[in-house]
Structure 1
Amino acid sequence: MIALAYTNIFTADINRLADFYSELFGLEELLESRSPLFRGFTAGGSAIGFSAPEAYDLLGLKPQEGSGDRVLQTFDAPDADTVSALTDKAVLLGATLVKEPFKTYYGWFQSVLRDPDGNAFRINFRGQFA
């Protein structure tokens, strides 16, 4: 089975965005990978990284142009109460609430937010919510 190793977010300020996510979710930094262009953190069975704009050239990529969401990160919580608590904490840390915690049509419980850079993310409980 193929496993997702990393998901990366490009940002003009890797320290600000890395600190936001690590503070919100208590992520452990992979210090051996830290550089002026990158910071990475363990996130369950995979990792999340934050790349400076200079990493585009390093990777042979060009920044996407135009508006609209292209990626949506989802972070699982152990229960519905934690979804609500982390949603409140995210807003205190500078996130914008898009959709308050709600029960999805498939029975999960989640909120939708935007991080300080405007990237969309969800905080989610996969269990059945009454």
Structure 2
Amino acid sequence: MATLSYVNIFAHDIDRLAEFYSKLFGFEEITASRTPLYRGYVCGGASLGFSALDAYEMLSLERPGGQGEKNLVTFDLESQDEVRRLVAAAQTDGATLVKEPFETYYGWYQSVLRDPEGNAFRLNYPGKGA
């Protein structure tokens, strides 16, 4: 069985975006993996990484063009109150609210935001049954 080790977000300013997420969630940096093109953070069972745009070429990937979402990262939280609290904190630190906290048709409580570079992410409370 495969396991997820890293989710990486490409960023124009990896220091600013890494600081946004680490401050919001209290993630600890994996300093051993720090390079001029990368910052990594402990994030539950996987790690969250931030890659400079030059990493596209290093990885032989084409930079995406056009509009639209290329990914959506979801962060699970422990309560509806924590979702609301972190929505406010994220906005204070430069995030843009896309969708106010709401209960989904499948019983989760979440909100959709964009980080300071415009990447979409969700703050989610999966409820007691998750």
Q: Fold match, TM over 0.5?
A: yes
Q: Percent identity?
A: 57
Distance 1:128 1:69 in 2: 29
Distance 2:31 2:126 in 1: 30
- Identify the residue that residue 45 of structure 1 maps to in structure 2: 45
- Which letter does structure 1 place at the counterpart of 2:10? F
Runs of 4+ in 1 over 6 A off after TM superposition: none
Q: What SS is found at the alignment partner of 1:48?
A: strand
Distance 1:100 1:115 in 2: 15
* Conserved 8 A contact 1:112-1:120: yes
- Identify the residue that residue 110 of structure 1 maps to in structure 2: 110
TM-score normalised according to structure 2 size: 0.96
Distance 1:127 1:2 in 2: 26
- Identify the residue that residue 27 of structure 2 maps to in structure 1: 27
Distance 1:79 1:119 in 2: 23
- Identify the residue that residue 86 of structure 1 maps to in structure 2: 86
Counterparts in 2 of 1:115-126, with a 5 A limit? 115-126=115-126
Give the count of matched residue pairs. 129
- Which letter does structure 1 place at the counterpart of 2:103? K
- Identify the residue that residue 16 of structure 1 maps to in structure 2: 16
- Which letter does structure 1 place at the counterpart of 2:8? N
Shift of 1:128: 4.6
Shift of 1:24: 0.4
* Conserved 8 A contact 1:29-1:40: yes
- Identify the residue that residue 71 of structure 1 maps to in structure 2: 71
Distance 1:106 1:4 in 2: 24
Q: What SS is found at the alignment partner of 2:118?
A: coil
Distance 1:113 1:82 in 2: 15
Distance 1:85 1:19 in 2: 18
